[in-house]
Amino acid sequence: MNTSPPALQRILCIGGGPAGLYFALLMKRRDPTLAVTVVERNRPFDTFGWGVVLSDQTLGNLRVADPESAALIGEAFNHWDDIDVFFKGRRVRSGGHGFCGIGRKRLLNILQERCLALGVDLVFETDVTDDQALAAQYQADLVIASDGLNSRIRTRYADTFQPDIDTRQCRFVWLGTKKTFDAFTFAFVQTEHGWFQAHAYKFDGETSTFIVETPEEVWKAHGIDQMSQADGVAFCEKLFAPWLDNHRLISNASHLRGSAIWIRFPRVICNTWVHWTDMAGRQTPIVLMGDAAHTAHFSIGSGTKLALEDAIDLADEFARHANADVAAVLSGYEARRSVEVLKIQNAARNSTEWFENVDRYTGMEVEQFAYSLLTRSQRISHENLRLRDARWLEGYEAWLQTQAEPGKPVRKHPTPPMLLPLTVRSLTLKNRIVVSPMAQYSAVDGVAGDYHLVHLGARALGGAALVMVEMTSPTPEGRITPGCPGLWNDAQQAGFQRIVDFVHGSSSAKIGLQLGHSGAKGSTQLGWDQIDEPLASGNWPLISASTVAYGEQNQVPRAMTRADMDALTAAFVASTRRAAEAGFDWLELHCAHGYLLSAFICPLTNLRTDDYGGSLENRCRYPLEVFAAMRAAWPADRPFSVRISAHDWAPGGNTPDDAVAMARLFKAAGCDVIDVSSGQTTRQARPVYGRMYQTPFADRVRNEAGILTMAVGAISEADHANSIIAAGRADLCAVARPHLADPAWTLHEAARLQTRAIEWPRPYESGRDQLYREIARQQALSASTP
């Protein structure tokens, strides 16, 4: 590739939306010598659409980038702090959210006028069919492809940009009304075919945007796909009449016919944003910006935000590196900006899926439904809501406490959600925090010794409600490594009973045991050597659902026979009885992460052609047989959970749809809690990591299968746990790595929460109160330390 020109002289922006206009004016403002042209297919000062929403934060960014246009935009904005949620005949209002609404036409007019004032050349009514010819005409050194959602330029250079376009499940229509709303309003209406929702907000003194959305199947069931545009709008008017106060709904898309105004949102992600092409013997960059490069669902109001901030970021990059060549500037811009966009797109995905699956949450009361809606993207957390509207959040916390502890008086400062008790069968956990089972590779001949006593005992004293022992095998060959624990003989049972007795005698925590068989992932090295790699010597034979090795370097297991299944089931039952005799409060069966029972469930590792292969029901048959036998042997008053991999993260593997089906099968068999993990079933897995990245799976299992769930994965602070529990996404939070670093993680996180001046009760009457007392003691010790 030839180098780009040493100095940027001529810029061409194809598309006169927010991205193209704002980048043009920013570049012209910072360097008036630049020749900057914006080419737009529409007429001057003409646009389609209603109002757009920007946050207070985005408006602040505009003030820094160009105070002149920001002042005009600020004057035109309608600002509000409140959100109203209408659901099942009730309303919840919360404040402090800080939104601004402005008409899309007004926003573009302001940017167009600012461009003209700065000397940007605006060319209207020009439909660009050949970007290269236009770039040559203007002798452009840089082409900005801001030609929108259906970008022709993105399509032309698809081999470079590699767009991934995911058309989402709901239909929505973008309407307006003269009814002015005093809060950002979400209204939900149930029909005989399903749920509709409206997103409504005022954007000028007399007009509001009114977006109506519903799943595709509900839309078709009502015959809207066959209606004229007028009939479809009239349908919406009738449906949402209680909120319109006799005002009409208005469409400004007269150029469309029939139901074409109802669209499905396309989520656009591009692998790269810059394409270089030869123009007159020199390499010229074509850069995607705004909706051409990426989209974010309207439910988080970030499409315009992303476009404007794209423009700010690239203009800033040119300003910071004035002497760098264009290629270096663009490389730095894409590397940094793509990460920021991905964060917003991940949040938008969560928000999109919430609205696509409203029916999942309609069993909730309006209090929790509204909280779930407000935190749907996982960007707004529990403590962030407190900053926005502390009074409303404390009221919600008080409501949650009445649900968890009916009949008990609510404190002046309600109990944080993660510290609320939970009763499962006859066992009451003092709070919602679980120390996740974590392999320690420190057992000798399967016996848990002093190390485990200190490791588990310290965490039991650290404030968690339930401490889980790592995966323990019912047979010697079922261990993952030689350092993993087992429960097939008296010495192992005695070792565990010693630990159980300590936990019960010295703490208010409960202790649970996770039983599982390694299957094809067994006979491997200790975790601090080469994890998942075979032993250098002394390997033992492996069994699994099929003759599928975990990796090329791993052993090929023998496919289990009926006799093998019966023998292993008997071993699981024997270990279950030993666990009960040792005094464990909780039992969990490991059916995740590619271990033996997971290998039956996963279609990538179960290739059987008998009754235990094929359909999901068949693949779950043997794990369910094991579970049923263990449940019969386990005391009826003690809880029993099952850990599953809710997503294999690999083509052809299980998906979250399958996870819901698995959960229903185990629930019917008597399971109390599904411990929802994901992945590790195949080396081909490609998880998408992030904060609380597995929580959406727990949410879906809980609210679709109707069973208690335990969320795991990248839950690292109390704010995460509070948000998960309060939103009803899970009932317990299993925290792993933070507890490795800090055995008293729960106490320390709770102490940070309790700086809001809790009224310490006398006498201390519950495990929660004991936790508060320990917090107070630690705070007193800390205060007295010089």
Write out the catalytic residue numbers.
Answer: 595
What is the token pair recorded at 386? 């407190």
Cα–Cα distance measured from residue 86 to residue 235, given in angstroms and rounded to the nearest whole number: 19
The helix/strand/coil state of 42 is coil
Say how far apart CA 628 and CA 668 lie, in whole Å.
Answer: 10
Hey, what are 6's tokens? 């040493």
Backbone angles phi, psi at 546, to 5 degrees: -145, 175
Tokens matching residue 109: 């007019």
Residue 159 neighbours by CB under 8 Å, 6+ apart:
none
- What DSSP line would sit under 597-665, residue for residue? HHHHH-TTT----STTSSSHHHHTHHHHHHHHHHHHHS-TTS-EEEEEES---STTS--HHHHHHHHHH
Contact yes or no for 181/201 (Cβ under 8 A): yes
The answer to whether the beta carbons of residues 422 and 731 sit under 8 Å apart is yes
Task: Find, among 106, 123, 143, 146, the residue nearest to 5 by Cα.
Answer: 143
Place of tokens 């000028």: 204
Task: Please state, in angstroms and rounded to a whole number, the distance separating the CA atoms of residues 84 and 370.
Answer: 9
**Cis preceding linkage at 603, omega within 30:** no
Torsion sign, CA atoms 217, 218, 223, 227: negative
Alpha-carbon gap, residue 335 to 58, rounded angstroms: 21
User: What angle (nearest 5°) sits at the alpha carbon of residue 585, between those of residues 419 and 697?
Assistant: 55
